[in-house]
C-alpha cells in the first residue's frame, strides 16, 4: 500500500511538536527530503544535497519509559468484545467510507481520542486530517495497524486493560529482531523507523481497544 509521508499525515493533524521532527517517507514515491545522520563538525554536505539532518531529540532519555509489553500475534486469544470491536473497525475502514465509523462511535460511552486537541465531529476531523480529504488515507493506516501484532496495556487506576496495535507503540524500537522489523516495515519505512529510534519512541499512529470492547483511541504523537 502507498500512503503519504508520516510527516504529512501527522502535520495534517496539527501536531506541531511532531512536525518539528519532520519524519521521512513511508512507502512514498514522492520526491522528498530524507534524513541522514548528523554530519561531523566541519564536514559539509555535498553541493546540492538538500537532505535534512535529524539529530537526537534532546528529551530522548526522558522519553524512554518503555513498557516493553509482550508482542502478541494470536488473534484467537483476544476477548470476544475486543475481537468484535477490532472486526468492526476493520470492516468500517475497509469500506472506504469514513461515515461507517460513526455508528461505532455513537454507541460508545466516550468518543475515541483522535487528537490531543479538541475534536467536535470525529468523522469530519478524520476527513480533514487525511491528505486525500475523505479519510481514506487514515482508514488505510488503521487497517495496517489492526493487522499488526498487538500488546496489552495492564489495567490500572480503575481502567481496564487496553489492547494496543501495533505492539511496538509501547516498546523499545532498538534491537528489533528480523521478524519484528518486518512487522514494523509493513507500517513505516526504514527511514521512519530510524527517526523514531532517534526520537526515542514510536510516534506514528496507534489504535487502542479496551477489554470492554470500547474503541479508546486512534492517534499519533508522543
Residue 106 lies in a domain: yes
Structural domain that includes position 95: 67-219
Residue 10 lies in a domain: no
Residue 22 lies in a domain: no
| Closest by Cα among 18, 8, 31, 35 to 192 | 35
Distance (Å, rounded) from C-alpha 184 to C-alpha 56? 21
- Classify 198 in phi/psi space as left (phi over 0), alpha (psi -120 to 50) or beta: alpha
Tell me the pLDDT of the chain (222 aa) as tens digits: 434 456 556 555 544 333 333 333 232 223 223 333 344 444 444 444 443 334 444 454 554 556 789 999 999 999 999 999 999 999 999 999 999 999 999 999 999 999 988 899 999 999 999 999 999 999 999 999 999 999 999 998 889 999 999 999 989 999 999 999 999 999 999 999 999 999 889 999 999 999 999 999 999 986
pLDDT for the residue numbered 67: 78
Distance (Å, rounded) from C-alpha 54 to C-alpha 39? 10
Reported pTM = 0.75
CB atoms within 10 A of CB 4: 19
The Cα angle at residue 11 between residues 214 and 217, in degrees rounded to 5: 5
What are the percentages of helix, strand and coil residues in the chain, rounded to 5?
40, 10, 50
Radius of gyration of the chain from its Cα atoms, rounded to whole angstroms: 18
The count of structural domains within the chain is: 1
Residue 53 lies in a domain: no
Instruction: Classify 36 as helix, strand or coil.
Output: strand
Asked whether 220 and 113 are in contact (CB, 8 A), the reply is no
Which residues on neighbouring strands pair with residue 150, listed in sequence order? 72
Amino acid at each position: 500500500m502507498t500512503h503519504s509521508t508520516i510527516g504529512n499525515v501527522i502535520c495534517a493533524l496539527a501536531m506541531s511538536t511532531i512536525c518539528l521532527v519532520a519524519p521521512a517517507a513511508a512507502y512514498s514515491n514522492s520526491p522528498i527530503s530524507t534524513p541522514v545522520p548528523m554530519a561531523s563538525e566541519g564536514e559539509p554536505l555535498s553541493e546540492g544535497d538538500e537532505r535534512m539532518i535529524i539529530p537526537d531529540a534532546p528529551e530522548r532519555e526522558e522519553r524512554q519509559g518503555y513498557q516493553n509489553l509482550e508482542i502478541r500475534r494470536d488473534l484467537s486469544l483476544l476477548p470476544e468484545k475486543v475481537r468484535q470491536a477490532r472486526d468492526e473497525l476493520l470492516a468500517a475502514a475497509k469500506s472506504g467510507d469514513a461515515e461507517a465509523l460513526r455508528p461505532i462511535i455513537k454507541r460508545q460511552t466516550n468518543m475515541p481520542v483522535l487528537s490531543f486537541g479538541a475534536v467536535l465531529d470525529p468523522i469530519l476531523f478524520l476527513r480533514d486530517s487525511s491528505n486525500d480529504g475523505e479519510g481514506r488515507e487514515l482508514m488505510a493506516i488503521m487497517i495496517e495497524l489492526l493487522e499488526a501484532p498487538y500488546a496489552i496495556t495492564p489495567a490500572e487506576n480503575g481502567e481496564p486493560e487496553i489492547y494496543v496495535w501495533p505492539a511496538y507503540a509501547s516498546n523499545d524500537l532498538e534491537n528489533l529482531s528480523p521478524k519484528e522489523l518486518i512487522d514494523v516495515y509493513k507500517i513505516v519505512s526504514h527511514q521512519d523507523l530510524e527517526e523514531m529510534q532517534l526520537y526515542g519512541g514510536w510516534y506514528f499512529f496507534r489504535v487502542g481497544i479496551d477489554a470492554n470492547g470500547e474503541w479508546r483511541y486512534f492517534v499519533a504523537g508522543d
